[in-house]
Amino acid sequence: MHTCTETAELGLYTRPAYRLLREDSAHPLILVCEHASRYIPAALNDLGLDPEAAREHIAWDPGALELAENLSQTLGATLLTANYSRLLIDLNRPCQAHDSIPLQSEIYQIPGNQHLDEATREYRRKQLFRPFHARLSGLIDARLAAGRPVRLVGIHSFTPLYYGQRRTLEMGVLFDRAEGYARRLLEGMSVHDVKIAGNEPYKIDALGDMTVPAHGDARGLDSVLIEVRNDLLRTPQAIQCWTDYLAPLL
C-alpha cells in the first residue's frame, strides 16, 4: 500500500534515530534508553512549549542517559539510546497507544502535536520509531542466532513530584513475565539504604509499553525496566553510586 509522506516535517530528522555503543560486546546484557534525549529539530520550535517545559521530564528522562552510559562502560555492555525527544514519538509505546505521540503530558499541553495529519504521524514512525526498534530486534536476533544468552534492561527516571504528589520511592523494577530476574534485582538492592519496589511507580502493560513486552517477554528473555527518581541522578557522584549498586546485579 502506498503511504503518503508529504508533510511539513519532511527532511527535518537529519540525525540518526538512535546511538549504539559497544555493539560487539560479549556481555549478555543489552541496555536500552528510549527517553535519553530531549532533542527536537529547531524548525519545530519545541512543539510550541516554553523553554522551561521543553527541558522538563515530559521531554526526556533526566539522568537516565548518564546512568545507562555508566552502566554500559562499567559492564562493557551494549547500549542503544534514542536521539530524539519522546514528545515527537515515544519509543517505549506501541504505535497504536493513545500517547504514542502525546497531545498532553501531565499538566502540559503539547501544541505541536495537536491536529497532526496521518502523513506526519506516519513520517515520525518511519524516521524515528521503526529504525530504533528494527535495530534492537536485529541485535537480539544476531545474539540468539549465535546461541548467546540475552538479557534486556531499560533505564528510565521518574519525577519526585507527580501531579503535585511527592514520591518517596527511590527506585522501581518494572516487569511482567521476567519475575525471577526482577526479584533477584530487588533482593540484591535490598541490602542498600534505598526505598525500592517492584512494579512501582508504574506497571508494565503490553498495550502501553514497548521494549519489555515486545522485545523481551514475547521472546522469552529476561527483561525489566529500571526506574530511578531523577533528583537522585543529578551529579556524577550520584550516577556512580547507582552504577555501583546496579552493575553487579545486572
Q: Is residue 31 part of a domain?
A: yes
The string of pLDDT tens digits covering residues 161-193 is 887 789 999 999 999 999 999 999 999 999 999
Q: How many distinct structural domains can be found in the chain?
A: 1
Q: Left, alpha or beta for 163 (phi > 0: left; psi -120 to 50: alpha)?
A: left
- The percent of residues above 90 in pLDDT, for the chain, comes to 90
Specify whether the CB–CB gap between 116 and 122 falls below 8 A: no
The string of pLDDT tens digits covering residues 2-46 is 455 679 999 999 999 999 999 999 999 999 999 999 999 999 999
Q: Is residue 34 part of a domain?
A: yes
Q: What angle in degrees, to the nearest 10, is found between the helix axes of 179-189 and 236-246? A: 120
Q: Which whole number is the average pLDDT over 113-141?
A: 97
DSSP code for 28: S
Q: Is residue 185 part of a domain?
A: yes
Please give the mean pLDDT across all residues of the chain: 95
Q: Is residue 239 part of a domain?
A: yes
Q: Is residue 130 part of a domain?
A: yes
* Domain hosting residue 203, numbered range: 18-246
30-69 burial: b if 16+ Cβ within 10 Å, else e: bbbbbbbbbebbeebebbebeeebbebbbbbbbbbbbbbb
Q: Is residue 60 part of a domain?
A: yes
Residue the block writes with cell 519532511: 10
Q: What is the pLDDT of residue 5?
A: 61
Residues in Cβ contact with 22 at an 8 Å cutoff, skipping those fewer than 6 apart: 72, 76, 77, 78, 79
CATH number of the domain that residue 197 is part of: 3.40.630.40
Q: Is residue 8 part of a domain?
A: no
CA distance 199 to 209: 13
Q: Is residue 213 part of a domain?
A: yes
Query: Residue 1 pLDDT more than 70?
Result: no
> pLDDT band for position 138 (50/70/90)?
very high
